[in-house]
C-alpha cells in the first residue's frame, strides 16, 4: 500500500525510524549491504506498519496492535553467556546446535558441525560482502513487497549462514536455538541463511531456549536455498512466547529442480504471532510440503500467511494447517498459490482446518488460487467447527470423563501432522509440547 493512506506516523513507526538512524553506522556490512539496508528501510517507511487496508495483513492490524517499538537488544554480556553455557551443559541439551542470544550468534555456546557443513555468523558474511550470499539473503524478490520483511532486512543484526556442500548427507538435525539474556524486553532483528548444495540432504530444527526466550519484539527471517536434487527438512517450535509480546517470523524458500522440501511449525504461547512464508519452485519436478499446528487460548492471536509460487513445470505442493482455538483467541490463515503460465502440470493443494472450542473464539480463513497455466490440478479448502459429538459420546460411553475424552480427540487432531515428521526425537518433542498445552488448558 502507498504511504498516502497513512495520515500520521504512529509512535512505533517514529521510534523505528529513530532506531534505524541511530543503529545503521554500527550495523555490519560494506557499501552494498548499506545500500540494501537503506532501500529496505525506505520501502518500510513508505508503507508504514501494515494495517487492515493492506490485503495480506487484513486480519492482523499491526499498526493498531503494536503501539510501541522497543529498543534494539544490546550484545549479551559475558556473565549472561556463562549462565547460558551452564544451562546448555545440563542433561538433555541439544546436539549440533547453533545458538543466537538476543539476536547475536554465540559461537562459544554452539557446537562444531559435521563434515560438509560450514557455519559463519551473518555479521561476518555481511562484512565479507560475497555477492552470491548477499543476493540470497536479500530474498531474490520473494517477500519484497512486505514491509516487515523489509524492516528485518534494514535492521538485521546477526544470525547464521549455513552452507551444506553438494552431495553431503547430514544424518542428525542441525538445531538453531534462540535464547534470551536481556533483563528487559527488547527488539531483535535476526536473519539467517541456509544454502543446501545440489544432491545434499539436511534437516534444520528451530527452537527457543527456556521460558521467555521470545519476549519483547522479535523480527526474524530465515532464508533457504535448496539446490537441484537436494532434500531439505525443517521444523520450527514457535513456543514459549510471553503474553504481550510480538513475534513476526518470515520464512523465504527457493526450491531447485527435482528437490524435496518439507517444513512443519508448531505455534503456542501468548502474545501476537505471525509466521509468513514465501516459497518459490525455481526448478521442475520438485515436491514441497508446508504444514503447521496452532494451539491458542486466552486472547492469543496467531497468523499464518503464505505465498507459494509455482515458477517451474511439474511440481507438487501441499499446504496443510490446523488450529485449535479456545476462549477469546483468534486464528488467521491466508494462503495463495500462484501458477505461472509456463508452470504446466502443477499439482497444488491447500487446506486449513480449525476446531473452535468456544463461542468467542474466531478463525479467519482466506485461501486463494491464481492460475495462469491451463494444465494443472489445484484446489483449496477451509473448514471450521467443533469436536464431533458422536466421537465424544463414544469415548464417554467407554468410561472416559468428558475432559479426558476431549483432550484425546484434540491430541489426535493436532498430532496427525506431527507424526509426518521423519524424525522420532522431533516427533516426541512436538508431542510433549502439545500434551503440555492440553494439560495447561484442562487446569484452566
Q: Which of 237, 106, 123, 243 is nearest to 179 (CA)?
A: 106
Share of the chain above pLDDT 70, in %: 97
pLDDT at 4: 47
Residue 184 has pLDDT above 90, yes or no: no
- Confidence band of 3 (pLDDT split at 50, 70, 90): very low
Backbone angles phi, psi at 26, to 5 degrees: -100, -5
Alpha helices by DSSP H, 139-283: 147-155
Compute the 3-state secondary structure of the chain and give helix, strand, coil in percent, each to the nearest 5. Answer: 25, 35, 35
255: β partners? 226, 281
The pLDDT of 328-341, averaged and rounded, is 97
Query: What residue segments make up the domains of the chain, in order of their start?
Result: 76-387, 388-444
pTM surpassing 0.75? yes
Cα(110)–Cα(94) distance, rounded to whole angstroms? Answer: 10
327-331, 368-372, 397-401, 440-444: range with lowest mean pLDDT = 440-444
The pLDDT of 311-340, averaged and rounded, is 97
Strand pairing category for 246-255 and 330-339: unpaired
What are the grid coordinates assigned to 13, written together? 513507526
Residue 182 has pLDDT above 60, yes or no: yes
Greater pLDDT, 244 or 201: 201
Count of residues making up the chain: 444
Cα three-residue angle 213-214-215, rounded to 5 degrees: 105
395: β partners? none
Residue 7 has pLDDT above 60, yes or no: no
| Interior/surface letters 262-275, b for 16+ CB within 10 angstroms, e for the rest | bbbbbbbbbbbbbb
161: β partners? 120, 193
pLDDT digits (tens, 9 = 90+) for 36-79: 999 999 999 999 999 999 999 999 999 999 999 999 999 988 99
Q: For residue 112, give the DSSP letter.
A: P
Backbone angles phi, psi at 335, to 5 degrees: -140, 135
Three-state SS sequence of 29-57: CCHHHHHHHHHHHHHHHHHCCCCCCCHHH
- Confidence band of 89 (pLDDT split at 50, 70, 90): confident
Instruction: State the average pLDDT for the chain.
Output: 93
pLDDT at 5: 52
End-to-end distance of the chain based on CA atoms, in angstroms?
42
Amino acid at each position: 500500500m502507498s504511504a498516502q493512506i497513512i495520515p500520521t506516523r504512529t509512535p512505533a513507526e517514529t521510534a523505528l525510524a529513530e532506531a534505524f538512524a541511530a543503529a545503521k553506522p554500527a550495523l555490519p556490512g560494506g557499501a552494498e549491504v548499506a545500500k540494501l539496508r537503506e532501500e529496505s528501510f525506505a520501502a518500510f517507511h513508505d508503507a508504514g506498519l501494515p494495517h487492515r487496508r493492506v490485503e495480506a495483513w487484513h486480519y492482523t492490524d499491526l499498526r493498531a496492535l503494536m503501539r510501541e517499538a522497543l529498543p534494539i537488544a544490546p550484545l549479551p554480556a559475558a556473565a549472561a553467556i556463562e549462565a547460558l553455557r551452564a544451562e546448555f551443559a545440563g542433561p538433555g541439551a541439544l546436539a549440533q546446535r547453533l545458538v543466537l542470544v538476543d539476536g547475536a550468534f554465540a559461537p562459544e555456546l554452539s557446537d562444531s558441525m559435521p563434515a560438509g557443513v560450514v557455519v559463519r555468523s551473518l555479521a561476518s558474511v555481511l562484512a565479507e560482502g560475497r555477492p552470491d550470499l548477499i543476493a540470497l539473503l536479500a530474498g531474490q524478490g520473494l517477500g519484497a513487497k512486505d514491509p516487515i520483511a523489509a524492516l528485518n532486512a534494514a535492521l538485521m543484526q546477526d544470525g547464521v549462514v549455513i552452507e551444506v556442500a553438494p552431495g553431503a548427507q547430514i544424518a542428525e538435525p542441525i538445531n538453531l536455538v534462540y535464547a534470551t539474556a536481556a533483563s528487559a524486553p527488547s527488539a531483535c532483528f535476526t536473519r539467517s541463511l541456509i544454502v543446501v548444495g545440489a544432491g545434499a540432504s539436511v534437516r534444520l530444527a528451530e527452537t527457543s531456549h527456556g521460558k521467555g526466550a521470545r519476549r519483547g519484539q522479535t523480527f526474524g527471517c530465515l532464508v533457504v536455498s535448496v539446490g537441484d536434487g537436494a532434500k531439505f527438512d525443517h521444523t520450527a517450535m514457535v513456543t514459549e512466547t510471553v503474553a504481550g509480546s510480538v513475534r513476526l517470523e518470515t520464512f523465504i524458500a527457493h526450491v531447485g529442480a527435482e528437490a524435496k522440501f518439507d517444513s512443519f511449525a508448531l505455534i503456542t504461547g501468548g502474545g501476537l504471532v505471525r509466521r509468513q512464508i514465501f516459497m518459490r519452485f525455481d526448478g521442475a519436478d520438485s515436491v514441497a510440503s508446508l504444514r503447521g499446528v496452532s494451539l491458542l487460548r486466552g486472547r492469543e492471536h496467531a497468523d499464518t500467511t503464505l505465498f507459494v509460487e509455482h515458477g517451474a513445470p511439474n511440481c507438487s505442493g501441499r499446504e496443510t494447517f490446523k488450529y485449535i482455538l479456545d476462549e477469546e483467541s483468534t486464528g488467521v490463515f491466508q494462503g495463495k498459490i500462484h501458477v505461472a503460465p509456463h508452470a504446466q502440470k502443477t499439482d497444488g493443494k491447500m487446506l486449513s482446518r480449525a476446531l473452535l472450542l468456544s463461542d468467542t473464539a474466531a478463525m479467519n480463513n482466506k485461501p486463494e488460487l491464481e492460475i495462469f497455466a491451463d494444465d494443472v490440478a489445484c484446489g483449496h479448502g477451509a473448514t471450521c467447527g467443533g469436536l464431533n459429538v458422536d466421537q465424544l459420546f463414544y469415548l464417554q460411553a467407554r468410561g472416559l470423563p468428558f475432559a479426558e475424552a476431549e483432550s484425546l480427540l484434540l491430541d489426535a487432531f493436532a498430532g496427525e501432522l506431527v507424526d509426518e515428521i521423519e524424525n522420532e526425537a522431533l516427533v516426541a518433542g512436538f508431542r510433549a509440547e502439545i500434551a503440555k498445552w492440553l494439560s495447561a488448558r484442562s487446569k484452566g
